Amino acid sequence: MIRTLKSIKGDIFLQFKYGFYLVYTIVTIMYIFLLNFLPEEALIVIVPFIIFSDPSVLGFFFISGLVLLEKGEGVLEYLIITPLQVKEYIISKLVSLTFLSLITSIIIEFFSFGKNINYPIFLVGITLTSFLFILIGFIAVSRFPTINKYLLSSVGYIIVLCLPLIGYFGIFKSRLFYLFPTQASLLLISGAFKGIDTWQLIYSILYLLVWIAATFKIANISFYKYIILKKGDN
Amino acid sequence: MIEVKDLMFKYPKAKEKTLKELNFKIDKGEIFGFLGPSGAGKSTTQKILIGILKDYLGSVKILGKEIINWNTDFYEKIGVSFELPNLYHKLTALENLDFVKSFYSGKKEDSKKLLEMVGLEKNADVKVSKYSKGMKMRLNFVRAFIHNPDIVFFDEPTSGLDPLNAKNIKNIIMEKKHQGKTIFLTTHNMTVADELCDRVAFIVDGEIKLIDSPKKLKIEHGKRNIKVEYIDKNKFQEKDFALKGIGYNDEYIKLLREKEIKTIHTQEATLEDIFVQTTGRKLL
C-alpha cells in the first residue's frame, strides 16, 4: 500500500515532468474557449461528449505514451527488478492519470456548463471511464516497442470503443450499443447532466466494473507476457 | 548465497535448450565472473537468477530459498545493473535515484553519497538526457546499491567507460566485496574478470566448461617458462627457459651476465588464452 502510494506520487511527478499537465492545461483552456461559442441548448449534448472524450483520450493515449516512453528509456526493464509489483504499477498509472482527468473534467464542466449537475454520478462516470480506457490503452500498447507500429492498431481500438457515440448523437439507435462498455460511460456522464434511470445507473456502474476487472486481469497478463518476457517485441 | 543445480532452460519456440545442466555455487563475499561469447546463455542465466524467467528446470536457490518461492521481498535483497543504462531521461540523476529508492523498505543509501562515489555529485541536478554515455553508465551502475542489497548483479559494468572511471568502478566493486556483498559479474572482458573475480565460469553453448580462480587457471595453463628479451649484435633477441631449475641453468645465468637485458617475463597464460584453449571458442 505504501509502495503504491509512493509510486502514484512518483508517477504524478513524472507526468508533470513529461509535460502532461502543460498539454492538458492548454487543451482545457481551448475546450472552455470553444464551448463558450456554443448556444446553451447545444451544451447539454456537447459538454457531456467533451467530458466523455476527455478521460478516454487522456487515459488511452497518455498511458500509451507513458508505456512507450518507459520502454524506450528501458526503465520498465528496471522496474521489474524492484519490489514494485505489476498490479501496483498498473494501479499507480490508473490513479495518477485519473487524477488528472478528474481535475480537467471538473474545470471544463465548471467553466462551460456551470450549472448544478449530479456530481457523484459525474465523478463516478469519469473515474470508471478513465480506468477502462487506461487499462485498454495499456493492453493495446504493451506488445508494441515503438509508436509507429502501435498507432495503426490504436485507431481500431478507438473506433470500436466510440461506436456508442452514434447512438448518443441520435444518428442510429440500437440496444446493441449496451454491449459496449462505453455506452455505460456515456449514460453515466450524460446522466449527471440530464438525469438517468435507476436501471441504467445500475447497469452502467456494474457493467463498467465488470469490464474494469476483466481488463485489469488482462493488463497484468499482458505486462508479464510482453514486457517481462518481451514476447512480441522482436 | 547462490546455489544452482542442474539448471536447464528452453525458450518456448527454440529447438535446443539454451541452458544445459548448469551447476555452480557462489559464497557470500565472492565475486563470481560469468564469461562467455554472445549467445552462450549468459543473459538467460542472469534472467533466471534475478527472477525474471521462471519456467526453468532444476534448482536455483538464492539466500537459501528456491527462486520461484520468493515474493517481491526478493528485490529488496538483490541489486541489478543492466548492460544498457535504463534511466528516466527527463529526471535529474538525484531524482532518478530518489524515485526508485521510494519502492524499497529497508535501510537505504544516501543518494548524494552514491553520486559522489562515481564522481557525479556536480551533475546531481542535471537531467539525465544531458548526460554522456559514460555518465549514464556510472549512474546506472551505482543505482544498484541504493537499497543496500546482499547480492549485486552486474552486466559489463565497465563497458563504454574511460580507463580512470573504469578503474573507479572496479575499486567500488572490490570495496563492496570487502563489505561482504556477493557479486555476480557477467562479462566478455577478460581483463576485468581477471582483475576482479575470485572465480570465473566459462560458458559456451549453454554449458559451463570450467569453473576456477583466475590465478590458479593462469598458473595451471601457463607454460612454466621464462622469456628473456635482450640485445645482441645491436638486434632484439628473445629466448625461452624452463622455470624449473632456473637458478642452475648456466645458459640463462650467462645471458643475464653478458647481455643487455630488456625484459624478463614468466609465460603465464592470459585468461583469454585459457578460454580459447578450454572452449575452442573466441570470446567475441
Does residue A112 lie within any of the structural domains? yes
Cross-chain CB nearest to B86 (options A9, A74, A84): A74
Count of structural domains, chain A: 1
Kindly state the cell numbers that stand for A225. 507476457
Contact present, A177 and A100 (Cβ < 8 Å): no
- Which residues in A lie closer than 8 A to residue B91 (C-beta atoms)? 14, 17
User: Scanning every residue of chain B, which has its alpha carbon at the shortest distance from the alpha carbon of A227?
Assistant: B52
- Verify whether the Cβ–Cβ distance B99 to A77 is below 8 Å: no
Percent of chain B clearing pLDDT 70 (strictly above): 99
Summarised one tens digit per residue, pLDDT across range B182-228 is 999 998 888 899 999 999 999 998 999 889 998 888 888 877 788 99
The pTM score is 0.87
Does residue A233 lie within any of the structural domains? no
Please state the separation of Cα A123 from the chain's center in Å.
13
Q: For residue B134, give the nearest of B156, B161, B166, B167 by alpha carbon.
A: B161
Kindly state the cell numbers that stand for B134. 559514460
Mean pLDDT, residues A98-124: 90
- Which residues in B lie closer than 8 A to residue A84 (C-beta atoms)? 72, 103
Does residue A186 lie within any of the structural domains? yes
Mean pLDDT, residues B152-171: 93
Q: What pLDDT does B272 receive?
A: 84
Summarised one tens digit per residue, pLDDT across range B21-72 is 999 999 999 999 999 888 888 889 999 999 988 889 999 999 999 998 998 8
Does residue A159 lie within any of the structural domains? yes
Mean pLDDT, residues A115-128: 92
Length of chain A, please? 234
Alpha carbon distance B170, B168 (integer Å)? 5
Cross-chain CB nearest to A80 (options B52, B87, B104): B52
Kindly state the cell numbers that stand for B110. 544516501
Determine the 3-state secondary structure of B212 from DSSP. strand
Q: What pLDDT does A231 receive?
A: 62
For B73-99, letters b (16+ CB in 10 Å) and e give ebbbbbbbbbbebbbbbbbbbbbbbbb
Q: Residue B80 — very low, low, confident or very high, per pLDDT cuts 50/70/90?
A: very high
Summarised one tens digit per residue, pLDDT across range A14-57 is 999 999 899 889 989 998 998 888 888 888 889 899 999 887 88
CA angle, residues B102, B106, B109, in degrees to nearest 5: 70
- pLDDT over 70 at B95, yes or no: yes
Q: What pLDDT does A233 receive?
A: 45
Contact present, A161 and A136 (Cβ < 8 Å): yes
Cross-chain CB nearest to A3 (options B86, B89, B103): B103
Q: What pLDDT does A220 receive?
A: 95
Does residue A234 lie within any of the structural domains? no
Kindly state the cell numbers that stand for A111. 467553466
Q: What pLDDT does B71 receive?
A: 86
CA distance A166 to chain B (A): 41
Summarised one tens digit per residue, pLDDT across range A150-182 is 888 888 888 998 888 888 888 888 888 889 999
Q: What pLDDT does B221 receive?
A: 80
For residue A33, the enclosing domain spans 2-228
CA distance A184 to chain B (A): 36
Does residue A201 lie within any of the structural domains? yes
Does residue A97 lie within any of the structural domains? yes
Alpha carbon distance B18, A179 (integer Å)? 46
Question: Which residues lie below 8 Å from residue A13, measured CB to CB, with a gap of 6+?
Answer: B95, B99
Mean pLDDT, residues A187-201: 91
Q: What pLDDT does A148 receive?
A: 83
